[in-house]
Amino acid sequence: MRLHRHDSGHSQADKRGHDVGERWAGPIGVAVDAYRRHFETVGVPAERVDLIADASLDALTAWAPDLGTEVAAVADGAGRPVRELAMLNARTEILARAPRPDEAECSTVVRVPTEATLDARPWSFQTWDWHPALATDGLLWEYEPTPGRWVKTFTEIGMLAKIGLNSAGLAVHFNILYHRSDTADGGVPVHAIARRILDEASTLAEAVDIARSARVGASTALTVLAVEGGRVETASLEVSPEGVGILRPDSDGWLVRTNHFLSPELADGDRRAAVTTTVARLDHLRGVAAEDANGDDLPSLALALCGSGGESAPICLSDKVATAAGLQSRTLLTVRQDPVAGTMECWPGTPYDAVEAGAAERV
């Protein structure tokens, strides 16, 4: 995946969206065509795709009018029908209605200080795994939703947000989930929930309120790390049409999640792909967390989290590991976020790729 940068500065939703659409019209067109083909491959007819895209855009516009305006402005700037940008932003909602859950292999880890580790610096980490043909290009996007407040996010070009952090000291991570309550009714796109949390929330409580305010049609986990003054809080918000489950860190300050429901109130409704490494990745990360893995930058943290598995660790979906597991997804991005410093470090590949490179792109 090629990583690009875009800085919107402070601008209104219509101008910000139009500029993104105009600048990245080529990759947006590639993504639209790729997702259309993928939806057909996984068994979602074109007519159903359009219905869900339209319904999701309607739900988004009712819930967050400025974000609906921004999606329409991206379409205008790119010279594409609004429905196509609505489709990109609702890709999780569309995939929720495929006959079988799609592959989902992302892994998230958060480390917060405890009474035993008061000097520890909070950080968060994620691998983002997806079909390479659907994400040939990714965007490291900076913008100011309001004067004096900045957001940095990695997202698929044309989508409102995904992984990111803001100037209030709050970081967000994103893991797709599937639940029996997922519907074909569209609902607010889960990517838009991540975006609104980044734009508006300064605390974990505010992030939870935003997530609970959205009527959704698909499921996802939004893991939030919030640092405000001397207070550090984290939780994984398991969002589904049935409700929002809250997963808290363990007593040692570790929060680990992959791609299945873990909160008691929603775990019974979990659906997952027939072929997945979600449990193996969770067990691996819990194991290295028990060894008190840490790291002051992305390469050193990635080395610790790969553990003794090295390049064959289950969190590294390289061609070799993915093929052996029978998966088509690959690890397209590895991210470390430091909400205290306000930095996001990214590497376009597996954690072990970042280890070998000994470097990362900092935003």
For residue 140, CA distances in Å to 135, 156, 192, 216, 346 come to 13, 9, 17, 26, 9
Instruction: Quote the CA–CA distance of 317 and 339 in Å, as a whole number.
Output: 27
pLDDT digit string, tens, across residues 143-190: 999 999 999 999 999 999 999 999 999 999 999 999 999 998 889 999
**Does 169 share its domain with 313?**
yes
pLDDT of residue 35: 98
Q: 324 and 202 in one domain? A: yes
Q: What 3-state DSSP class applies to 140?
A: strand
Strands (E), 241-351: 243-247, 254-257, 270-271, 330-338, 343-347
- In a domain, residue 51? The reply is yes
Nearest-angstrom CA–CA distance, 169 and 122 = 11
* Rg value, the chain, Cα: 19
What whole-number distance in Å separates Cα of residue 69 and Cα of residue 61?
7
- Containing structural domain, residue 336: 107-362
Task: Give the residue carrying structure tokens 């409704």.
Answer: 269
pLDDT of residue 17: 98
Of 61, 95, 129, which residue is a domain's last?
95
- pLDDT (tens digit, 9 = 90+) per residue, 213-238? 999 999 999 999 999 888 899 999 99
Residue 91 lies in a domain: yes
> What SS3 state is found at 285?
helix
Under 8 Å between Cβ of 44 and 101: no
- Please give the pLDDT value at position 317: 95
Same domain, 130 and 235: yes
Residue 161's alpha-carbon distances to 70, 153, 155, 217, in angstroms, are 12, 6, 5, 18
> Is 69 among the domain residues?
yes
Question: Do 196 and 139 meet the contact criterion of CB atoms below 8 Å apart?
Answer: no
Q: DSSP letters along 25-77, please?
A: HHHHHHHHHHHHHHHHHTT--HHHHHHHHHHHHHHHHHH-HHHHHHHHHHHHH
CB burial of 25-48 (b: ≥16 within 10 Å; e: otherwise) equals bebbebbbebbeebbeebebeeee
Q: Which residue among 95, 124, 140 closes a domain?
A: 95
Quick check: 107 and 254 in contact, CB under 8 A? Answer: no
Which CATH number does the domain housing residue 38 bear? 1.10.10
Q: Are residues 358 and 237 in the same domain?
A: yes
Query: Is the pTM of the predicted complex or chain greater than 0.85?
Result: yes
- 112-140 pLDDT, tens digit per residue, is 987 656 567 899 999 999 999 999 999 99
One domain for residues 39 and 115: no
pLDDT in tens, the chain (363 residues): 999 999 999 999 999 999 999 999 999 999 999 999 999 999 999 999 999 999 999 999 999 999 999 999 999 999 999 999 999 999 999 999 999 999 889 999 999 987 656 567 899 999 999 999 999 999 999 999 999 999 999 999 999 999 999 999 999 999 999 999 999 888 999 999 999 999 999 999 999 999 999 999 999 999 999 998 888 999 999 999 999 999 999 988 999 999 999 999 999 999 998 889 999 999 999 999 877 777 889 999 999 999 999 999 999 999 998 998 899 999 999 999 999 999 999 999 999 999 999 878 888
Based on the structure, what is the number of domains in the chain?
A: 2
Residues 114 and 234 placed together within one structural domain of the fold: yes
